[in-house]
Amino acid sequence: MSQARLMDGTALARRIVERTAHRAAELTSRTGVRPCLATVLVGEDPASVTYVRMKQNRCRTANIASRHVELPAETTTARLVRTLRDLSADPSVHGILLQHPVGDHIDERAAFEAIAAEKDVDGVTFASFATMSFALPGFVSCTPGGIMRLLDAYDVDPAGKRAVVVGRSAILGKPVGMLLLARDATVTYCHSRTRELSSVVREADIVVAAAGRPRLVRGEDVKPGAVVIDAGYNAGNVGDVDFATAVERASLITPVPGGVGPMTIATLLEQTVDAAARQLAG
């Protein structure tokens, strides 16, 4: 059997960011206002610091202004909620990203819900989850949205296909399943309590591995010809899919890195410009 074709998230993300940069510049020249993403960071977790910095850098390349708010690790829920409400009310901010996870002492859900729906460019609010689930206009969670863009770019139509999502987190597994369902896939959610995971995954025409467990999905679990999306990020650039064996069975597969990862930020930037365009038109 021949090897799977790679789904090149780096190249697709670059095209999306270029188009986004063009739209942002056009919007600025038309309105005099630069689209602006506010990033909020609580504490000094090194990985979070790195992620936020990366997002700010990408904003620059996309002609998006960024405003950064840093709060000390001991910030209370009330203080964080106030910050997010203020940003929600600030007309010079068009999109808001709360870098998460936040500390355990903070009610993360209360913080997310303090983000105005029209600025929720990271797709973390109840309203965004519901609009994704009901196929209504709204923002998508960035990684799920990026996965759908990848599928579209490689002409994978989910309609009528069996899709298996491994993982059920609030910002990845659950929403990507809902987006696939909205596109008429027959969707199965698997997770840590699923019995005989291998045999369930083997039913899938499209597999989305999003469990955060290194090499959980092995080649022998992949139905020959399936499309394999690896949304896992584990230490040492290892995904949730055992790439070496899965590439021998899949028809299309995302590499790690360079697959889903770059699509997440591209979606964030694109949605920031969407938000700005809508707010500046309103």
Report CA 96 to chain centroid distance, whole Å: 14
167 is in an annotated binding site: yes
Q: What is the DSSP letter of 241?
A: B
Pairing of strands 36-42, 95-98: parallel
249 is in an annotated binding site: no
Who's near 64: CB < 8 A, 6+ residues apart?
A: 20, 24, 34, 35, 36, 37, 269, 272, 273
29 is in an annotated binding site: no
Give start and end residues of each alpha helix (H) in 62-141. Answer: 77-89, 108-113, 126-133
122 is catalytic: yes
Q: What is the largest CA-CA distance in the chain?
A: 57
Cβ 174 to its own copies shortest distance, Å: 6
Interface residue with its own copies, options 25, 88, 189, 218 (CB under 8 A): 189
Distance between CA atoms of 33 and 239, rounded to whole angstroms? Answer: 40
Interface residue with its own copies, options 31, 184, 225, 278 (CB under 8 A): 184
Give start and end residues of each alpha helix (H) in 114-256. Answer: 126-133, 142-153, 173-182, 197-201, 243-246
Q: Does 187 bind its own copies (CB under 8 A)?
A: yes
Q: Does 73 bind its own copies (CB under 8 A)?
A: no
Distance between CA atoms of 19 and 268, rounded to whole angstroms? Answer: 13
Closest CA to 276 of 38, 102, 111, 6: 38
Which of 120, 122, 205, 230 is an active site residue? 122
Q: Which stretch binds its own copies (CB under 8 A): 35-43, 57-65, 140-148, 194-202?
A: 194-202
Q: Does 168 bind its own copies (CB under 8 A)?
A: yes
161 is catalytic: no
Distance between CA atoms of 272 and 115, rounded to whole angstroms? Answer: 14
- For its own copies, which is the closer residue by CB, 155 or 196? 196
Interface residue with its own copies, options 200, 216, 256, 266 (CB under 8 A): 200
Interface residue with its own copies, options 54, 78, 89, 130 (CB under 8 A): 130
Cβ 77 to its own copies shortest distance, Å: 15
Interface residue with its own copies, options 14, 34, 79, 191 (CB under 8 A): 191
Interface residue with its own copies, options 72, 195, 236, 281 (CB under 8 A): 195
Answer whether 260's CB lies under 8 Å from 149's CB.
no
How many amino acids of this chain bind its own copies (CB under 8 A)? 29
DSSP code string of 201-231 = HTT-SEEEE-SS-TT-B-GGGSPTT-EEEE-
- Residue ranges in 100-129 that form contacts with its own copies under rule CB under 8 A: 109, 126-127, 129
- For its own copies, which is the closer residue by CB, 5 or 278? 278
157 is catalytic: no
Q: Does 74 bind its own copies (CB under 8 A)?
A: no
Q: Does 202 bind its own copies (CB under 8 A)?
A: no
Q: Which amino acids are annotated catalytic?
A: 55, 99, 122
Q: Tell me which residues touch its own copies (CB under 8 A).
A: 109, 126-127, 129-131, 133-134, 136, 159-160, 162, 168, 170, 174, 177-178, 181, 184, 186-191, 193-195, 200
